[in-house]
């Protein structure tokens, strides 16, 4: 698994946009990574809010020819208040998956244009006295909020509650489109999310003559979907079902919600890694999705819908790096490869590297301008043998770097999506702190009460 010379991808859109070289030094935005390590210490995350803004504007621009585009941010990807507020200020709605995220968004963020509530078992009491559905019924008087039902149980529960409280509710259906895909195309775990299309007749029967107003059809087919044709198929199926259900209910469904899934180019090497990176850019995604939905609506003589995306990963992944220090290198007799040990932990700082074998690009920032010559496995400092950022066991390594020595500074790219929330206190390691590229500490989300 060769790593390229960083000079070949640093600064390139879709690859390592917030990084750049000034002279021989590697910078993240306007800050030298070596300097950041010296002033802030190591095992620190660095956040670029300007990259969050750039990503958001690029996504919106990709849909600029479609006047009815309502983008949403999936809060689960990175719930730092500054990240979410930056997106809200650019007119992104917020997507939440439970009552904790909902309450967090309401207390930490200002002027959210609209909220979408997804997630399993929203009718179950999760917060001692109330569940998400009750909360939204009260909230809808002051906020534009949609609940996407995940099951017929949720619909039944909500229908009764709305009757009891004599109130209407704007609702959507989360569809499970698994039966339209091959088994191998989607993650097997996704089967428990959304209403299977076979259960749609029962769902529609419940919605008829109820106080629930069906406004949206949503389907999230998974995250990091690297093949555009799957996302297009999702859009096609959603549009087709929306038209069919709209006709049956006698009121058109105004919103098509495509979920998340837009993938990130984690692999910086060309050719041999082509199949692991997304086969599309955000602009191609938008163009094809708009085309597909417009075509289905045109063929049916229907008014085009609003389009919503619930993007998390693509908006945030490249906005953060992790800076670590090499503590030692070790060559063992069994392993021909040398191990680099760092002062971080893959288990807690980039948990997906261990959990799902996620590849994160790694650069020796101290020697960023030197040619990669040696092969290494790269490990964390904890006592677990699986604490590795890059090694052959799960295809995350080995990596080719310049000759690396203790005290060298390593930077791990694209850690802005999902990694902060997956931190833990294994070996009692403290959570690595977060700073902006200007060296300011970043406020962490407050822990919700139960």
Ligand X SMILES: Cc1ncc(COP(=O)(O)O)c(C=O)c1O
| Residues that bind ligand X in the complex, under the rule CB under 6 A | 74, 76-77, 95, 118, 220, 223, 259-262, 310-314
Residue 95 CB, shortest distance to ligand X, in Å, is 6
Residue 416 CB, shortest distance to ligand X, in Å, is 11
d(CA 26, CA 163): 61
Closer CB to ligand X, 260 or 372, in the complex: 260
Helix axes 132-139, 99-108, angle to 10 degrees: 40
Residue 224 CB, shortest distance to ligand X, in Å, is 6
Residue 234 CB, shortest distance to ligand X, in Å, is 12
Residue 264 CB, shortest distance to ligand X, in Å, is 9
Residue 55 CB, shortest distance to ligand X, in Å, is 11
Closer CB to ligand X, 34 or 86, in the complex: 86
Residue 195 CB, shortest distance to ligand X, in Å, is 13
Closer CB to ligand X, 34 or 255, in the complex: 255
Closer CB to ligand X, 259 or 278, in the complex: 259
Closer CB to ligand X, 31 or 117, in the complex: 117
Residue 436 CB, shortest distance to ligand X, in Å, is 22
Contact call for residues 347 and 354 (beta carbons, < 8 A) = yes
Residue 196 CB, shortest distance to ligand X, in Å, is 16
Residues 6+ apart with CB under 8 A from 356: none
Token readout for 321 is: 């790096």
Residue 225 CB, shortest distance to ligand X, in Å, is 7
Q: Which residue in 303, 204, 299, 297 sits closest to 248, CA to CA?
A: 204
Closer CB to ligand X, 311 or 348, in the complex: 311
> Could you write out the DSSP letters of every residue in 251-311?
S---EEE--S-B--------GGGTTTS-SS-HHHHHHHHHHHHHHHHHHTT-PPPEEEEEE
d(CA 433, CA 349): 10
Relative to beta strand 169-176, strand 145-149 is parallel
Beta bridge partners of 19: 28
What number of H helices and E strands is found in the chain?
12, 21
CA 322 distance to own-chain centroid: 17
Which single residue is written with the structure tokens 């949609």?
Answer: 146
Closer CB to ligand X, 311 or 342, in the complex: 311
Closer CB to ligand X, 260 or 398, in the complex: 260
Closer CB to ligand X, 122 or 180, in the complex: 122
What secondary structure letter does DSSP report for 371?
P
d(CA 94, CA 313): 14
DSSP-derived 3-state class of residue 25: strand
Of all residues in this chain, which one has the CB nearest to ligand X in the complex? 260
d(CA 180, CA 200): 14
78-115 residues labelled b (16+ CB within 10 A) or e (exposed): bbbbbbbbbbbebebbbbbbbbbbbbbbbebbeebbbb
CA distances from 449 to 48, 100, 101, 109, 118 (A): 29, 8, 11, 17, 20
Closer CB to ligand X, 229 or 373, in the complex: 229
């Amino acid at each position: 698994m060769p790593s390229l010379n960083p000079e070949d991808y640093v600064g390139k859109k879709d690859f390592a946009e917030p990084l750049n070289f000034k002279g021989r030094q590697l910078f993240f935005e306007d800050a030298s990574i070596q300097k950041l390590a010296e002033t802030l210490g190591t095992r620190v995350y660095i956040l670029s809010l300007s990259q969050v803004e750039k990503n958001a504007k690029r996504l919106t621009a990709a849909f600029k020819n479609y006047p009815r585009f309502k983008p949403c941010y999936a809060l689960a990807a990175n719930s730092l208040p500054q990240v979410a507020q930056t997106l809200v200020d650019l007119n992104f709605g917020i997507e939440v998956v439970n009552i904790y995220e909902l309450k967090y968004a309401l207390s930490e963020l200002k002027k959210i244009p609209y909220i979408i509530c997804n997630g399993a078992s929203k009718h179950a009491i999760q917060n001692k006295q109330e569940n998400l559905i009750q909360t939204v019924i009260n909230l809808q008087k002051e906020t534009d909020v949609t609940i996407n039902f995940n099951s017929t149980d949720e619909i039944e529960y909500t229908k009764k509650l709305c009757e009891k409280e004599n109130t209407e509710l704007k609702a959507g259906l989360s569809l499970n489109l698994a039966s339209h895909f091959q088994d191998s195309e989607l993650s097997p775990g996704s089967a428990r999310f959304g209403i299977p299309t076979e259960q749609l007749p029962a769902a529609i029967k419940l919605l008829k003559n109820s106080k629930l107003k069906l406004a949206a059809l949503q389907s999230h087919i998974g995250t990091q979907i690297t093949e555009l044709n799957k996302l297009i198929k999702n859009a096609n199926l959603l549009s087709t079902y929306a038209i069919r259900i709209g006709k049956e209910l006698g009121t058109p469904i105004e919103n098509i919600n495509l979920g998340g899934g837009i993938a990130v180019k984690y692999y910086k090497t060309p050719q041999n890694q082509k199949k692991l990176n997304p086969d599309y850019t955000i602009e191609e995604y938008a163009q094809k999705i708009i085309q597909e939905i417009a075509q289905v609506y045109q063929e049916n003589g229907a008014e085009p819908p609003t389009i919503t995306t619930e993007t998390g990963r693509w908006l945030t992944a490249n906005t953060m790096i992790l800076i670590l220090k090499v503590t030692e290198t070790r060559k063992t007799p069994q392993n021909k490869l040398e191990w680099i040990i760092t002062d971080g932990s893959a288990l807690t700082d980039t948990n997906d590297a261990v959990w799902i074998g996620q590849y994160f690009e790694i650069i020796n920032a101290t020697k960023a301008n030197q040619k990669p010559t040696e092969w290494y496995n790269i490990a964390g400092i904890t006592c677990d043998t699986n604490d590795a950022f890059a090694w052959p066991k799960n295809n995350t390594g080995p990596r080719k770097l310049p000759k690396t020595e203790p005290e060298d500074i390593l930077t791990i790219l694209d850690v802005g999506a999902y990694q902060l929330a997956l931190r833990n206190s294994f070996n009692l390691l403290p959570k690595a702190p977060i700073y902006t590229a200007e060296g300011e500490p970043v406020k962490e989300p407050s822990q919700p009460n139960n």
